[in-house]
A and B are shown apart, each in its own frame.
Chain A
Amino acid sequence: AQKITQTQPGMFVQEKEAVTLDCTYDTSDQSYGLFWYKQPSSGEMIFLIYQGSYDEQNATEGRYSLNFQKARKSANLVISASQLGDSAMYFCAMREGRVERDSNYQLIWGAGTKLIIKP
């Protein structure tokens, strides 16, 4: 079974509109972390935002916020006031692991969503 599911292979959004990128996850761990990364056409992987499983508040970083719904196992990324430079691939990733075990803290990745911002 997929551990990270991103159901939107691609999205077109008008500049200045808000956009929500979907991510659902599957884990039996109580302690885990959820990440969003952006990959522009140049190829580098850029960290955007993090949400811990025990965090009670939704994470925010500038124009990025994470809509964390733990019971539904979803961690959607919201980009407010989209800009042309937001056009990129967006990846949701999860790190599982408990402190008690020798966790390897690897990231498990979704397939990504290609976001294109239209002027």
Chain B
Amino acid sequence: DSGVTQTPKHLITATGQRVTLRCSPRSGDLSVYWYQQSLDQGLQFLIHYYNGEERAKGNILERFSAQQFPDLHSELNLSSLELGDSALYFCASSVDSELMNTEAFFGQGTRLTVV
């Protein structure tokens, strides 16, 4: 158990809908990262939050947004869903000090299927 909790584990929804994925980082971790893993694109970095503030954006679509709350949990909102959004969405957390050797601990992922 990595200590990172993601809910729900599975989500099936229709095109055009909106969903919210939730992530609780490990206790003490200030950074939350969201990644998308799809069959054709591999693992792609979406967005990074540190202590409530957005730090970096990767390949995140405008239809997607995220936030990190004061209790450090994070939500990823996906709207106007398309078939191509079907993927495994991972949340990872890390301590993120200035050192490089802080591994990211991953949740079990949310498998999103858009039908």
Contact = CB atoms under 8 A, between A and B. Distances in A.
Nearest to B31: A105
Please report whether the interface of chain B is mostly helix, strand, loop or mixed according to DSSP.
strand
Interface residues of B, number: 28
A32 B65 CA distance: 28
A114 to B, nearest CB: 13
Interface stretch (B11-19, B73-81, B94-102): B94-102
Contacts of B83: none
What bracket does the count of chain A residues touching chain B fall in? Answer: 20 to 34
Interface string A105-118: 11111111000000
A106 B2 contact: no
Contacts, number: 64
24 contacts: A42-B108, A43-B88, A43-B109, A43-B111, A44-B2, A44-B106, A44-B108, A44-B109, A47-B105, A50-B101, A50-B103, A91-B43, A93-B43, A102-B55, A105-B94, A106-B33, A106-B56, A106-B58, A107-B33, A107-B43, A107-B104, A109-B42, A111-B42, A112-B42
Interface of B: 2, 31, 33, 35, 42-43, 45, 48, 55-56, 58, 88, 90, 92, 94, 96, 98, 100-109, 111
